[in-house]
């Protein structure tokens, strides 16, 4: 495998190493912020809110300044908020540092998807995008595992320091291995769709809404299952919770196959079967057994990662004249879903526990399938 493909995978890792790491720190952070489920969720959601705010503008910036330049700069800038998180003296400043983290990260992943779509033809770009998604899985797992294990022995502040060190190493490798993009003809102002034009495209609107549901489900699922597993009868601490995220490794190994499945069966079919797998996994987690929860989370995460590949590749292919902006808007919708996923289930968690959260996620999944399939059909009809 050439270094450029490895660099695309590392971009996915760099984007996700710091984003969800606080999930494995929740037991310790709850002592810092108080016994408040909504506040604990806000620490996770602050990062995704920052991503949602910055993503469309990063896409437009990369359309003008160049993909690689923006990716590399963002990868190095993302080191700083992790250090600020480690030094935060109050919960409010910790949330602010997490927001800054989210503002930096879209320069990596929103732009990497556009870079991939530009640099390889569609049938080759889909497997490479799947490799990128596998990198996001590996980054999400590594960030949670590293921060949780360090926090177990040295406290949550050192967990954030460890994240900063790992992020710096990834940024250096991306700088060394990601080659500059090929020169592209610059579109004139009249040929470059505005954000409003992209939002007015029915197919894109549908897939943006589907993406909202995807990260809503992922954040809600892993945030509130962490709270469940921290309570009796499981009683897991930060180290145990971080180990639970090894379920991500299954998704990392299987997601690269999603590109081949997309080439064979198409976006709509892969999206539907992926969500069916995810919802089935959620149902398994309702069983009062740690082994059952682990199996259920494997199915849940693997299904969502396949669905993410289907949605991401579609957006990268649908708007060749403005890929950066189109992917940026998708990332905004996706991470708005993640922001809501951290806090919206809190009342259901308080009233009905984990089964209430599962029911809410399943409803979001059904909506994602309906909207995504409609978007794919509309795009195919317009192309014909």
Q: What is the DSSP string of 300-344?
A: HHHHHHHHHHHHHHHHHHH-GGGHHHHHHHHHHHHHHHHHHHHHT
Number of Cβ within 10 Å of residue 9's Cβ equals 24
pLDDT, tens digit only, all 384 positions of the chain: 578 889 999 998 998 899 878 877 877 777 787 666 666 667 877 887 888 788 778 877 877 788 889 999 999 999 999 999 999 988 888 889 999 998 999 889 778 887 887 788 877 777 888 888 888 888 888 888 888 889 888 888 999 999 999 999 999 999 999 988 876 545 444 445 566 666 667 777 888 888 899 989 988 998 888 888 888 888 887 667 767 777 767 777 777 777 778 888 888 888 899 999 999 999 999 998 888 999 999 999 889 988 888 888 887 676 656 666 777 788 788 878 877 887 889 889 988 989 999 999 999 999 888 888 887 777 666 655
Give domain 3-177+202-383's CATH number out of 3.40.50.300, 3.40.50.720, 1.20.1250.20, 3.30.930.10. Answer: 1.20.1250.20
d(CA 65, CA 81): 24
Q: Where are the domains of the chain?
A: 3-177+202-383
Regarding pTM above 0.85, the answer is no
Which residue shows structure tokens 């999944």? 365
221 is written with which tokens? 């699922």
């Amino acid at each position: 495998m050439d270094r450029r493909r490895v660099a695309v995978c590392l971009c996915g890792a760099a984007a996700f190493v710091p984003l969800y790491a606080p999930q494995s720190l929740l037991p310790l952070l709850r002592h810092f912020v108080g016994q408040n489920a909504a506040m604990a969720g806000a620490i996770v959601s602050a990062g995704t809110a920052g991503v949602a705010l910055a993503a469309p503008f990063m896409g437009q910036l990369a359309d003008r300044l160049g993909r690689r330049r923006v990716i590399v700069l963002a990868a190095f800038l993302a080191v700083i908020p992790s250090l600020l998180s480690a030094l935060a003296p109050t919960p409010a400043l910790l949330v602010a540092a997490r927001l800054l983290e989210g503002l930096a990260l879209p320069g990596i992943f929103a732009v990497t998807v556009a870079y991939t779509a530009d640099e390889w033809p569609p049938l080759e770009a889909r497997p490479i995008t799947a490799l990128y998604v596998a990198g996001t899985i590996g980054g999400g797992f590594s960030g949670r595992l590293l921060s949780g294990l360090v926090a177990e022995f040295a406290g949550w502040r050192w967990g954030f320091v460890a994240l900063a060190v790992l992020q710096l190493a990834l940024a250096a490798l991306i700088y060394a291995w990601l080659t500059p993009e090929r020169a592209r003809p610059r579109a004139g102002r009249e040929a470059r769709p505005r954000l409003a034009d992209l939002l007015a495209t029915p197919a894109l609107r549908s897939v943006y809404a589907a993406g909202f549901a995807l990260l809503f489900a992922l954040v809600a699922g892993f945030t509130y299952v962490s709270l469940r597993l921290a309570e009796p009868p499981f009683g897991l601490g930060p180290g145990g919770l971080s180990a639970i995220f090894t379920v991500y490794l299954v998704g990392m190994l299987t997601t690269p196959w999603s590109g081949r499945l997309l080439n064979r069966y198409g976006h709509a079919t892969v999206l539907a079967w992926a969500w069916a797998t995810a919802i089935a996994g959620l149902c398994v987690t309702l069983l009062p057994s740690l082994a059952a929860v682990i199996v259920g989370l494997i199915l849940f995460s693997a299904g969502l990662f396949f669905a993410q590949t289907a949605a991401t590749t579609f957006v990268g292919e649908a708007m060749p004249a403005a890929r950066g902006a189109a992917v940026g808007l998708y990332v905004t919708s996706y991470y708005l879903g993640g922001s809501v996923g951290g806090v919206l289930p809190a009342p259901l968690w308080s009233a009905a526990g984990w089964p209430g959260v599962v029911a809410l996620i399943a409803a979001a999944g059904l909506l994602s399938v309906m909207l995504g399939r409609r978007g794919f059909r509309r795009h195919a009809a317009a192309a014909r």
